[in-house]
Amino acid sequence: MTSVKAAVLTAYEQPLEIREYRALTEAGPGEALVRIELAGICGTDVHLWLGQLPVPLPVILGHETVGRIEVLGAGLEKDWRGAELRVGDRVAWASSIVCGECYYCRVKRQPTRCVARKAYGISYCANDHPHLRGGYAEQIHLRAGTAIFRIPDTTPSEAVIGAGCALTTAIHGVERCPVEWGDSVIVQGTGPVGLAAIAVAKQAGAANIIAIGGPPHRLELARKMGAGHVIDIAAMPSIEQRRKEAITLTGGYGADIVIECVGYPDAVNEGIELPRDGGRFLVLGQYANAGNISFNPHTITRKQLTVQGSWGFEPRHVDRALRMLEIPHWQHLFANEITARYPLAEANAALDTVKNWRAGKTVLIP
């Protein structure tokens, strides 16, 4: 192969362009070249496409990726867990690299807020050498220091991408806002992050999980992931009615934990009423700046709430996600979340499918 095709975001809200780059054949010390097999389309990609998060254009999108090692640079012999890495191995990797030296990395141990954090498929301009730093492409160049994970042979690639960054994001969120055994949990939103949050809450021992979302095919997935009750926002459009229903389903007091995974600012006002007094509210869904809402802070004081946010994930959350995906139950469920598959040339149709909520999870097969 002498050239590599990639779907490139060149201007916000404009169709991605299929561009060709010279195929890379060499990797420097600690670097790797990977032939991409499967790339997930994340909701964040839609936000990037719409210009809701600043990125250096042009950019090759795609930060949820599985591929096979083509070239290993000098010194790169083991994956993040210490397992031997060889050419041909099937791998995934943490999408971000942090500096390890800044105030947040070193002093405050919040590497997801590293001031120099860079993410594949987001922070790399495709005009800059070595160009191939995103998942919507046939090949990717991984920088030295990337947390690479050899995927166990028994874990299908579709499970890894079906889970995508939603699962690692949910694992990080629930680490910050822990679900205890027997807890009641309300999850707002049944997109990939909401479904993953349901799975993580279930795996953590939540006894009663209530999902608020839609459309019906997503609510069906929510049930399979572990929601004992689902509330369809289309069937119950009144926020007041949904609030009553959700609180009744927790036994009348509200949930121990409410996890917002919607992304629309108004969902925060709906969600903040749903924890029990002294409960916790995790805002996990506001990944893009979607604007302001009016908000009554009295609720936080009166209900003695703990309100938390969580951003991105660290390599150890990828490790946890891959371990969760070794369990056949989760493997099947996350792999089955994928209901739309497109070749690279149809990347625009794939983005459109995600934007309009037409599928469970959408992937590109480069």
Comparing CB distances to Zn ion, the nearer of 134 and 254 is 134
Which one of 94-102, 220-228, 315-323, 326-334 is the stretch in contact with Zn ion (CB under 5 A)?
Answer: 94-102
Q: In what order do the strands lie in the sheet with 306-309?
A: 229-232, 208-213, 184-188, 255-260, 275-283, 306-309
Which one of 2-10, 93-101, 296-304, 305-313 is the stretch in contact with Zn ion (CB under 5 A)?
Answer: 93-101
User: Do residues 358 and 340 lie in contact, with contact meaning Cβ atoms separated by under 8 Å?
Assistant: yes
Which one of 40-48, 85-93, 238-246, 318-326 is the stretch in contact with Zn ion (CB under 5 A)?
Answer: 40-48
**Preceding peptide of 130 cis, ω within 30°:** yes
Told to check if 102 binds Zn ion by CB under 5 A, we report: yes
Told to check if 207 binds Zn ion by CB under 5 A, we report: no
Comparing CB distances to Zn ion, the nearer of 46 and 210 is 46
Comparing CB distances to Zn ion, the nearer of 121 and 279 is 121
Report the Cα–Cα distance between both ends of the chain, in Å, rounded: 14
Told to check if 99 binds Zn ion by CB under 5 A, we report: yes
Comparing CB distances to Zn ion, the nearer of 105 and 255 is 105
Comparing CB distances to Zn ion, the nearer of 114 and 177 is 114
Comparing CB distances to Zn ion, the nearer of 102 and 207 is 102
The nearest distance, CB 62 to Zn ion, in angstroms, is 9
Q: Figure out which of the listed residues 165, 174, 187, 338 binds Zn ion, where binding follows CB under 5 A.
A: 165
User: Do residues 202 and 185 lie in contact, with contact meaning Cβ atoms separated by under 8 Å?
Assistant: no
d(C-alpha 347, C-alpha 232), whole Å: 30
Kindly determine how many residues on this chain lie close enough to bind Zn ion according to the rule CB under 5 A: 8
Which one of 26-34, 112-120, 140-148, 213-221 is the stretch in contact with Zn ion (CB under 5 A)?
Answer: 112-120
Give the pairing of strands 184-188 and 208-213. parallel
Contacts of 217 (CB under 8 A, 6+ apart): 339, 360
Which one of 99-107, 124-132, 204-212, 230-238 is the stretch in contact with Zn ion (CB under 5 A)?
Answer: 99-107
The nearest distance, CB 352 to Zn ion, in angstroms, is 17
The nearest distance, CB 26 to Zn ion, in angstroms, is 28
Q: Figure out which of the listed residues 8, 114, 147, 364 binds Zn ion, where binding follows CB under 5 A.
A: 114
Comparing CB distances to Zn ion, the nearer of 109 and 129 is 109
Comparing CB distances to Zn ion, the nearer of 242 and 361 is 361
Residue 230 phi, psi (nearest 5):
-130, 145
d(C-alpha 195, C-alpha 210), whole Å: 11
d(C-alpha 318, C-alpha 324), whole Å: 10
Which one of 96-104, 147-155, 214-222, 338-346 is the stretch in contact with Zn ion (CB under 5 A)?
Answer: 96-104
Structure tokens at 331: 């493997």
Residue 17 phi, psi (nearest 5):
-105, 140
Q: Where are the beta strands (DSSP E) in 248-336?
A: 255-260, 275-283, 306-309
The nearest distance, CB 362 to Zn ion, in angstroms, is 12
Q: What is the DSSP letter of 84?
A: B
Told to check if 42 binds Zn ion by CB under 5 A, we report: yes
Rounded to the nearest 10 degrees, the angle between the axes of helix 216-225 and helix 192-204 is 20
Comparing CB distances to Zn ion, the nearer of 193 and 272 is 193
Q: Figure out which of the listed residues 59, 105, 305, 322 binds Zn ion, where binding follows CB under 5 A.
A: 105
The nearest distance, CB 210 to Zn ion, in angstroms, is 25
User: Do residues 66 and 91 lie in contact, with contact meaning Cβ atoms separated by under 8 Å?
Assistant: yes
Told to check if 44 binds Zn ion by CB under 5 A, we report: yes
- How far, in whole angstroms, is CA 331 from its chain's centroid? 16
- How far, in whole angstroms, is CA 216 from its chain's centroid? 22
| CB atoms near residue 206 (< 10 Å) | 26
Residues near Zn ion, by CB under 5 A: 42, 44, 98-99, 102, 105, 114, 165
